[in-house]
Chain A
């Protein structure tokens, strides 16, 4: 009887979160899939059946394909960068003994993450300005040719990626630094007594011991790169020139809220959900076995 009550109690405790997640995440996801098969006139609330037409026209759309390729590039570049560079920096910070210096470094690295991009974007727009911006002024003062940066279809994506990295790497750095600090000191000392150098300690002891954090950041960084880059794209390039810096979520935003084509937007959203779900599943399949929980 007591066990039964306990089970009820467990359900009771998780109910608020479950209801919120169901109502605000899973239910809209299911409804979105439904909407994707219709042409939806929001104003009259009319639905006309389109079957898979929204999917076919989306897949046939050159802008969608270009956004998909760009998304793959962003993921290929930013996920490793946002994981490896903060990890290296976290290791370096671990070696710094001065507490004030460590706090200063953490602050400096974390500031971009918490600064609103609508404010930081103004500064970046000025930096990238081809005529009066800081970057070209610097390059030209050193005798190099300036670039059009955000207006150049060959460079816009890389500018967005660079700014997105600047904006996002601080969070992973803080997580890695916290995880490294929490490794039991005696484990490290034992390894040192056994003659393990810094590289061996990092490879054999520290990285495996923070593997849950690494796995967590691997999953969340994919989501962040897919989603949060949209703010950077919107402020810096609006996806241009001619979609060269757009990504799937920005394409979805444009479809829904600039062109008001909600049926196709729902189809794009469904495809994105499928891609993210597959990527997450793949990450679990590929990396979970290397994660060591203490």
Chain B
């Protein structure tokens, strides 16, 4: 059925809005039920993991081999959360939403309010049974306004990657890895001086500054979703972040540049997602050590996480049931074991072997992780970009830490109001 809806806010005359609405952009939308599938339901799993032997593909393949009456079809539709979300929106608008989509934590509010992701608890006993497999703390990360927006799938956390060849060459003790940022900067200054290598790189985004802000006792958004990133604690945390630059240890560069430089052995250390370990190791010949992201001296650690969850976007009951069947499989030890090869952390209660080298990330997880900031409201994604731009201004010296965070708060508050 083709149905064109017009907002009750401003009901428009047929010749006005419907003409615009109808034409504007292939506006006629198929909403509601798609064709019913009975014997063997086929569901699309939309993600951005490339490679035929990627664990995502292996999980889908293993699921299909179970012959549960549901065929999962892998659809890699981009390389970023935004790209796959964009395609999912087109699918939803055309009445063919993907059954399941990997959705970034930061898009949780968008998934609920805009994409119409299903509350897993809404699936009744089956949904609750699936959620029973996950650690309660992790479930909180995918809960938006009381609704569980998916199953926690990919969980990572920022950790410190150290090139141990340079570390040792600088005469630093391999057993004495810094636990505070202050100590890290002292040791990396020695590394830089002794080896001539660039000492450190952070990601210039919203994620790693969030770790600094939280470790200093601040927050980006408070529990009510209001921006509080200009608190004295947050300013202190950000000052520690940019101190690496002012001390000459960090030349702010892009994420791709940072990874290339580290893999080429030209960087002493970097902070990035724990999930990158296997990919980085595959490209390098030197010894890499993962360490917990250092905290701030005299402050309680409060590290954040990132990653994605599997959300059900299907609209009709049969597709939803089939999607839940897939999620049920993803929650099993068998699927999780396959998935952990990515380097993402184990979000379930199942006792599974920890991938080699991930001890620090698991220790960080055991300490307790907060969610990645979820940007609420219709303009949440715009607020996220504005915040990242202010972080970039601070890092590049176009704004002081205090002014930059104030600028971010004002701009974000305006967008989230």
Contact = CB atoms under 8 A, between A and B. Distances in A.
Contact of A126 (B5, B12, B260): B260
Contact of B398 (A40, A44, A242, A261): A242
B135 interface: no
A132 to B, nearest CB: 4
A interface bracket (residues with beta carbon within 8 Å of B): 35 or more
Interface string A190-205: 0000000000000000
A272 to B, nearest CB: 17
B327 interface: no
A259 B252 contact: no
A216 interface: no
B29 to A, nearest CB: 4
Contact of B20 (A35, A42, A258): A35
Contact of A132 (B25, B82, B92, B264): B264
B interface bracket (residues with beta carbon within 8 Å of A): 35 or more
Interface in B226-251: 251
Contacts of A45: 4-5, 21, 27-29, 31, 93
Interface in B97-140: 110, 114-116
A171 B70 CA distance: 52
B293 interface: no
B396 A49 contact: no
B89 A42 contact: yes
B261 interface: yes
A260 interface: yes
B6 A47 contact: yes
Contacts of A237: 254
B392 A240 contact: yes
Given A31-B23, A31-B24, A47-B17, A242 B392 contact: yes
Interface in A228-286: 237, 240-243, 254, 257-262
Nearest to B83: A257
B317 interface: no
B251 A130 contact: yes
Contacts of A131: 198, 251, 253, 257, 260-261, 264, 266-267
B116 A241 contact: no
Nearest to B92: A43
A151 B24 contact: no
Contacts of A63: 389
Interface stretch (B167-175, B177-185, B352-360, B378-386): B378-386
A34 B20 CA distance: 6
A70 interface: no
B204 A241 contact: yes
B381 A260 contact: yes
Interface of B: 4-7, 9-10, 12, 17, 19-21, 23-25, 27-29, 31, 82, 85-86, 89, 92-93, 110, 114-116, 198, 204, 251-254, 256-257, 260-261, 264, 266-267, 379, 381-382, 385, 389-390, 392-393, 396, 398
Closest 10 CB pairs of A and B: A34-B20, A131-B261, A49-B10, A242-B389, A46-B7, A242-B392, A45-B29, A132-B264, A259-B382, A35-B24
